[in-house]
């Protein structure tokens, strides 16, 4: 990514950028990196916004999977799995306002800190 990359949105687990050189959106989420055309990003946004989180959590409720919400890919044997918080963060990233710039120095919310507090 060069100098012509604009930060559009940021959450605890990732960022969404737009590259003015290649006219592509770059989504970095946990350890995943995606490059999308505007049409592909809109399709992902529509799919994620239509996800039935409760359905998938119930369907995989009896399994020991930590992440129970699948997002299929064009490769038949590959699905990306997310938990409820990750889906929420993904929705936040994909709901960016195209006309406003991201404030880089946003403060963390208490919900953004994933830490198990243990009293001794």
Q: Summarize pLDDT for 66-88 with one digit per residue, the tens.
A: 999 999 999 999 999 999 999 99
What's the Cα-to-Cα distance from 31 to each of 15, 34, 79, rounded to whole Å?
11, 10, 15
SS3 content of the chain, % helix, strand, coil (to 5): 30, 25, 45
How would residue 1 be classed by pLDDT, with cut points 50, 70 and 90?
Answer: very low
Tell me what pLDDT residue 104 has: 44
pLDDT tops 80 at residue 107: no
Give the span between the Cα atoms of 19 and 59, in whole angstroms: 38
- Could you tell me the two tokens for 49? 């916004």
Tell me what pLDDT residue 114 has: 66
How would residue 113 be classed by pLDDT, with cut points 50, 70 and 90?
Answer: low
How would residue 100 be classed by pLDDT, with cut points 50, 70 and 90?
Answer: low
Render pLDDT for 17-64 as a digit per residue (tens, 0 to 9).
999 999 999 999 999 999 999 999 999 999 999 999 999 999 999 999
């Amino acid at each position: 990514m060069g100098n012509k990359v604009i930060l559009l949105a940021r959450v605890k687990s990732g960022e969404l950028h737009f590259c003015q050189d290649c006219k592509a959106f770059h989504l970095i989420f946990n350890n995943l990196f995606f490059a999308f055309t505007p049409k592909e990003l809109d399709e992902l946004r529509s799919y994620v916004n239509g996800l039935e989180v409760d359905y998938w959590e119930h369907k995989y409720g009896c399994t020991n999977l930590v992440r129970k919400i699948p997002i299929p890919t064009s490769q038949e044997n590959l699905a990306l799995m997310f938990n409820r918080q990750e889906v929420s963060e993904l929705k936040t990233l994909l709901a960016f306002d195209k006309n406003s710039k991201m404030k880089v120095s946003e403060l963390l919310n208490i919900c953004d800190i994933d830490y198990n507090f243990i009293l001794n």
